[in-house]
Structure 1
Amino acid sequence: MNIEYQVVDESILGTSQQRILRRGVPLQKFLQLDSLFTKSFIPREIDHIVIQRASVIEVKDFKTWILGGELALTTLENFCTIEQQLSLVNQLVKGGASCLAFHPGNNASQEVPIFGETLIYAEESKFPIVLLHAHVTYSDMIETVFKLELMSKEEDIGVSSEINQVLFQFLSQHVNLEQMIERVSNTISSEIILFDVDMTPHASSHDVKDSQVLKTLHSREFRQFINQQNLIKLFMNDNTLHIKISTSEHRLDVILAPINHNYYLKSILCVVGMPNQVLIGKVLNDTVNALKLEKEKTKKINFKLMDRANRALLFDQNKKEASKAFAHLRVTFDEQAAVLLMSMVDNQFTTPKQYETEFSNNLKSRILKYIVTELPKESTALWLKDMLIIYLSQVTPQTRLAVARKVEENISYYFPTVSVTFGLSSKSTTNVIYAYHEAVQAVEEGKRQGKTLTQFDNIGFTKVFTNVTNDYYIKQFYEHTLNPILSLEPVRQHDLLSTLESFMNNNMNYKETADDLFLHPNTVRYRVQQLKKIFQDEAIFEKADTIFELQFALRLLHRNSL
């Protein structure tokens, strides 16, 4: 998929008031007057071309005074060689002219053709050329353009009035969002879709269920493109974008206009194609303003309230305050939820300081939209500064890991400039507060090891440093590590614990262990074999990390027994 974009300005929408023609004439409308032309050579893409002035060209070098938007009028006699015609078209293309109209001249005996090389170059440059009838004069052309301008203005006033009525009815709640979008669409004869920030459609003028437009704009490639930092900033600053998308199968032109509220991107208005761009500037502006004024049906993301809810639950352990805050956010919390924690760093954070909060909140709101669609029912996600706490309710160990991997995959793909580290709480923990501390510890361990997703159950002895204000994780670590022995009857438990400790302290030497425990070496060999069997690992005493964890667990066990 190839995607190109440009910021929409006066040159695209034709809204400038500083030109000879106040509004401009769409080239398509001009070309409908085929009685003026004997031939026309028109490229495919002319929807966006508007004639803003008519200029007669009689000199060979005029590039310094061309202003753009010209209907250039000249005779073939003035440019009678291939080189002269190529130079003419080149200057017009570079100057932003709209169209070239050749007059054949009045001397039939010295007829000059439009050369094939000229037409090939014009086609490559997507520049339209027409050949006038001999009886058509320059003054006829200029008068025709001004008449078309006047007609367009009258038509646009009628269309604009009709749209304003629809928008007024929408704001006064006499028509709903879908009806408003449909009526505006019918008026400008172009498909309109209102998208959420993750390119999920809110409302549309056409059935988008099997729409190629929706498939394209909701594709992974386009959503990754729209989440680039520079595009987020352009939308934050109310810039409308003209985007051209091409694949091996189709091409698509869209205009995307942001619906903002105090730098906060609420939604995106999409107009498909480039309809009457003389009018579209006003239509977009009026429709966007109406959508900005619309009463919100969903709460704006409240980062302060999210912060309060998380702190009340996880730090203050005040269930009453937590319940209130979660209720205001229209979500519930589960005291037995597992926790998936995401720590975020934007690698390309080059936003001026005064816009850091606005940009960060826009980025966070987008990330949240992309995550919640992957969460199981009853689960929720809330921001706490630059950490996203995902509460996973009523999920199996297998499901929670699958969800974590899917969320990690989506964020890494759709937000490639953002570095994220995920931590997942233990599958055996059923207390949300403990689950949070476990996820924090897993994130820290993941950062140290350079991993994107880390499970608390896999971080080894560092578990004991989780929430060091109590012994919960110390006890959990040694009980989990030594569980194969601690689950035995007391006498056998004592024998194997003492043998395990002595054997490791004596560097896995059977004779020295036997001397230390006053046992026969064969008894030590038997017990070591029993240890390998109950730990289900024949190489248990050959792994340095495992030996360290066992020794560490034994010391913690003795410490806790004091």
Structure 2
Amino acid sequence: MKIQDVLKDKRFSEFSLIAGLSGAGNAISTVTVIDTPDGAKWLSGGEFVITTAYMLKDDEEALLAFIHTLHRRKASALGIKQGRYIENIPDSAVSLADNLGLPLLLIPQKFPYADIINPILSELVNQQTNRLIQANLIHTKFTELAVSDASIPDILATFMSIVGVPAAFLDFETVQIWYSDSDSSLAQHLQAERILSHRDLDRTRYDLHLIANQSRSFGVLIFEKGVLERETEEESANALLMQEKDPGFKIALENTTTNIILREQTIISNRQVAERYKGLLIQDILIHNIKSETEIHNRAEIFGWDFHHGGIVLEVDINNIKQRFKRNFSNNTSKMLEEMSTEIFDISIREILKLYPNAHYVKLSDIIIFVLSIRPKERKLMEKNIAEAFSRIQRCIINIPFTISFGIGRYYENIEQIHLSYQEAREVIRLSYIFSWFNRILYYEKMDLFRIFLPILDNQEALEACRNCLQPLLDYDRKNGKNMLETLQVVSECDWNLKLAAERMFLHPNSVKYRMEQIGKLIHRNFREHSDRLFLEIAILTYTMSKKLPDWTE
């Protein structure tokens, strides 16, 4: 019940509103009488205050202070019995009530308090009873939905049937949108837009209500603009103030939120169980924990999978996220990084499955491993399709401060050999960190030269030989502040052409010649000998690939 409802009531037709019209919509929580100087300090908000103004008679300043106090205590209105102790309300009081938006009513002296209080309280009790009845009906409807494991569209349709407002729900993980009414203007607008993430939703066009519990955000309810209103800046920026046209709106929204959370938790739980068992099969295939090809096909058949066309491994790596975790370790940062990596994973999964619906995957720390089984006729377009999927993922994560790389092994006709493709995909991702080849697609088949050198990095004897060859230059550069090793690298890259190397380093050819003579003496190598030049090229490349290894430059 609001002040404007009191003024419209025929029983109070003799009441007159002389100030504070802008506050006529103030809700009334109760009616109270104050005739003592300190009575206002007990107000808790929403009271329609009635007074004879005994404590204010002949004191204009006290009346103004009283109006200020009522406004500060969030009273809904002030009613003064006219003629008992105050005949005329001062202009200053009228002006102040107008400025504060506090309705100021004149009440004829003939009205007993009981004739004011009882009808209003009776109406408040009736309204509250109706709200409780409505709340119980709403709760019953949504309880039935929860018990019957109703779908999200059913939940949304029930919400719409209660409040008459169409709604949609965007799932953060799948980026799928469900509607209360697929024919509504809201649904048509959303279907016409390219929604790849909740960030794509136009906040000037839609109202959003977050669906979340303490541990997880599931998605957002979407409404046409104006259904929800933001609270004032003094209050929580994340909360939402429901329109009061329908008192059941907030109750229906709360029940819808609860039901969607329950439904989402069930979906996620079922998905996690299924993914766990599927992930175990993929892991067994990748690490070759399989007795035979027949075992793979038998286990795959349980999930409706078909590996008869062999497969290839595609690894999605979030570049340098582990280093970011180590550098910025804190609960807040870890949660933020985890949320970002989860979003990247979800987008990657969505785009790869959109490209190859029969792809299978397993999440391992900061990577996702996909096994793609592609028919022979479709393999010609594989690189083109993967490149397009990679570009789509890049566009979707443009606002996330991380990039990704694809590491792709070779295709094997026998699924039992897929572990080799996995090892190859891992090797090219390893190369991407050695050479900082981030934000790109890396195919093992196109890394012939670098693949030759990968085994050297795991061979201590080979590393020792390369280290012993270049260590004198590293020591010399460190001691004298020179760059002999860099000179040797540039000359080697220029096919041992001193003039070309001098141009690249902006030096005189004689300076490069002199440096090379010094280098030859330091490392005891003859640059005219083909075998020495070949060994130096191998040592330099090995150094480039392994300079991040411990003790290499110590």
TM-score band, normalised by shorter chain:
0.5 to 0.7
Query: 109, 128, 131: which is aligned to 1:153?
Result: 128
Q: Secondary structure at the match of 1:301?
A: helix
Distance 1:110 1:464 in 2: 97
Distance 1:186 1:507 in 2: 81
Aligned partner of 1:231 in structure 2 is none
Question: Are 2:407 and 1:425 equivalent residues in the alignment?
Answer: yes
Query: 104, 108, 111: which is aligned to 1:131?
Result: 104
Specify the code of the residue in structure 2 equivalent to 1:385. Answer: S
Aligned partner of 2:288 in structure 1 is 316
- Residue 421 of structure 1 and its aligned partner are, at CA, apart by 4.7
Q: 1:8-27 maps to which residues of 2 (within 5 A)? A: none
CA distance 1:362–1:450, change in 2 (3 Å): same
Specify the code of the residue in structure 2 equivalent to 1:196. Answer: D
- Residue 448 of structure 1 and its aligned partner are, at CA, apart by 5.4
Distance 1:26 1:212 in 2: 38
Specify the code of the residue in structure 1 equivalent to 2:404. Answer: F
Aligned partner of 1:163 in structure 2 is 138
Question: Are 2:442 and 1:456 equivalent residues in the alignment?
Answer: yes
Specify the code of the residue in structure 2 equivalent to 1:422. Answer: I
Q: Secondary structure at the match of 1:423?
A: strand
Q: 1:370-519 maps to which residues of 2 (within 5 A)? A: 370-375=347-352, 376-378=355-357, 379=359, 381-391=361-371, 395-413=381-399, 416=400, 420-426=402-408, 429-431=410-412, 433-447=419-433, 452-457=438-443, 462-464=450-452, 507-508=496-497
Distance 2:7 2:429 in 1: 64
Query: 168, 171, 174: which is aligned to 1:193?
Result: 168
Contact preservation (8 Å) 1:423, 1:442: no
- Residue 339 of structure 1 and its aligned partner are, at CA, apart by 1.1
Specify the code of the residue in structure 1 equivalent to 2:387. Answer: L
Contact preservation (8 Å) 2:32, 2:48: yes
Specify the code of the residue in structure 1 equivalent to 2:405. Answer: G
CA distance 1:157–1:509, change in 2 (3 Å): closer
What percent of counterpart residues are identical? 12
- Residue 220 of structure 1 and its aligned partner are, at CA, apart by 7.6
Deviations 1:339-364, CA, capped at 9 Å, x for gaps: 141335575774499xx99x998776
Query: 272, 278, 287: which is aligned to 1:301?
Result: 272
Distance 1:399 1:449 in 2: 26
Aligned partner of 2:17 in structure 1 is 38
Q: 1:535-546 maps to which residues of 2 (within 5 A)? A: none
Distance 1:372 1:446 in 2: 21
Specify the code of the residue in structure 1 equivalent to 2:382. Answer: T
Contact preservation (8 Å) 2:94, 2:104: no
Query: 255, 258, 263: which is aligned to 2:212?
Result: 258
Aligned partner of 1:99 in structure 2 is 76
- Residue 382 of structure 1 and its aligned partner are, at CA, apart by 3.4
Distance 1:142 1:158 in 2: 24
What RMSD in Å do the two structures reach over aligned CA positions? Answer: 5.6
CA distance 1:287–1:441, change in 2 (3 Å): same
- Residue 407 of structure 1 and its aligned partner are, at CA, apart by 1.4
Aligned partner of 2:91 in structure 1 is 112
Contact preservation (8 Å) 1:259, 1:265: yes
Contact preservation (8 Å) 1:374, 1:403: yes
Contact preservation (8 Å) 2:211, 2:218: no
- Residue 80 of structure 1 and its aligned partner are, at CA, apart by 11
CA distance 1:63–1:327, change in 2 (3 Å): farther
Contact preservation (8 Å) 1:423, 1:455: yes
Distance 1:73 1:322 in 2: 83
Contact preservation (8 Å) 1:305, 1:325: no
Contact preservation (8 Å) 2:314, 2:371: yes
Deviations 1:273-294, CA, capped at 9 Å, x for gaps: 3155865565455445555665
Distance 2:385 2:356 in 1: 12
Where structure 2 has 5 or more consecutive residues not aligned to the other structure, the ranges are 229-241, 413-417, 460-491, 500-532, 543-554
Contact preservation (8 Å) 2:407, 2:441: yes
Distance 2:96 2:81 in 1: 18
Distance 2:71 2:117 in 1: 21
- Residue 441 of structure 1 and its aligned partner are, at CA, apart by 4.0
- Residue 159 of structure 1 and its aligned partner are, at CA, apart by 1.8
Distance 2:168 2:71 in 1: 33
Larger relative helix fraction: 2
Question: Which has the higher relative contact order, 1 or 2, with Cα contacts under 8 A spaced 6 or more apart?
Answer: 1
Where structure 1 has 5 or more consecutive residues not aligned to the other structure, the ranges are 1-24, 123-127, 226-244, 472-502, 511-543, 554-562
Contact preservation (8 Å) 1:41, 1:130: yes
Q: Secondary structure at the match of 1:396?
A: helix
Deviations 1:514-557, CA, capped at 9 Å, x for gaps: xxxxxxxxxxxxxxxxxxxxxxxxxxxxxx9xx9589969xxxx
Deviations 1:323-377, CA, capped at 9 Å, x for gaps: 6776677766674345141335575774499xx99x9987766554433443314
CA distance 1:284–1:552, change in 2 (3 Å): closer
Higher-Rg structure is 2
Number of equivalent positions: 422
CA distance 1:297–1:75, change in 2 (3 Å): same
User: Which 10-residue stretch deviates more, 58-67 or 177-186?
Assistant: 58-67
Contact preservation (8 Å) 1:195, 1:201: yes
Specify the code of the residue in structure 2 equivalent to 1:384. Answer: L
Distance 1:224 1:369 in 2: 16
Distance 1:317 1:33 in 2: 81
Deviations 1:411-462, CA, capped at 9 Å, x for gaps: 352xx4xx64522235x83245455444434444545566651332587954
Query: 184, 187, 197: which is aligned to 2:159?
Result: 184
Specify the code of the residue in structure 2 equivalent to 1:440. Answer: R
Deviations 1:48-76, CA, capped at 9 Å, x for gaps: x8644445566788886543454455689
Contact preservation (8 Å) 2:79, 2:106: no
Distance 2:93 2:200 in 1: 46
- Residue 311 of structure 1 and its aligned partner are, at CA, apart by 1.3
Distance 1:168 1:213 in 2: 31
CA distance 1:176–1:437, change in 2 (3 Å): closer
